[in-house]
Structure 1
Amino acid sequence: MKQCTHVDALPSPEPVPLSDTCPECLAAGTHPVQLRLCLACGYVGCCDTSPGRHATEHYKESGHPIMRTFEPGESWRWCFVDHVLA
């Protein structure tokens, strides 16, 4: 089973979220379906089900590998590099 190779490089404590919603969606007047939090820098972006897919775009631009759900009651993390739950 493939494992994430990036968890050990995550900052501790977790970064403070830079916003409470996706700033690109807010600027465009669209609504994110669900939010993701970058565990490297605190960027908040919308998921791939949202029209903008800003969380994935943040990964592509920054190279920050792991985001976690930013939804209440959820705690999973996704590694974009290894394509696994981290």
Structure 2
Amino acid sequence: MAICTHLAEAKETPPQGNGCKECLEIGWRWVHLRTCLECGHVGCCDSSRGKHATAHFHEEKHPVVQSAEPGESWKWCYVDEALAP
């Protein structure tokens, strides 16, 4: 099984806001937030109406997000579909 290099190389990037940018612009609510570790974009999770974190990956090809939820620090690689605690 191949090891995900995206997770190993991901750097901690500060979030660029306190909520999902797209949801805030259109007045939607979200369930959980994810922060892109490449650019700091904050987007909502796939359980949210907009699925903006995943949409950001598809648009920008930034592979790794980190949970932006208090008490959580896990990371997810969209490319390899890999989770890091």
Q: Tell me how far apart the structure 1 counterparts of residues 37 and 17 of structure 2 sit (CA, whole Å).
A: 13
Whole-angstrom CA distance in 2 between matches of 1:2 and 1:53: 28
Q: 1:19-38 counterparts in 2 under 5 A? A: 19-38=17-36
SS of the residue aligned with 2:5?
coil
Alignment root-mean-square deviation, CA: 1.3
Partner residue of 1:58? 56
Moved over 6 A (4+): none
SS in 2 for 1:58: helix
* Structure 1: distance between partners of 2:7 and 2:82: 11
1:75 counterpart residue number: 73
Tell me what 1:46 maps to.
44
Q: What corresponds to 2:6 in structure 1?
A: 6
Q: 1:52 is aligned with what amino acid?
A: G
SS at match of 2:34: strand
* TM-score (norm: length of structure 2): 0.90
Equivalents in 2 of 1:41, 1:63: separation in Å? 11
Q: Cα deviation per residue 1:42-75 (whole Å; 9 max; x = unaligned)?
A: 0000000000000000000111000010000011
Tell me which of the two structures has the higher relative contact order, counting C-alpha pairs closer than 8 angstroms and 6 or more residues apart: 1
**Structure 2 unaligned regions, length at least 5:** none
Identity %: 52
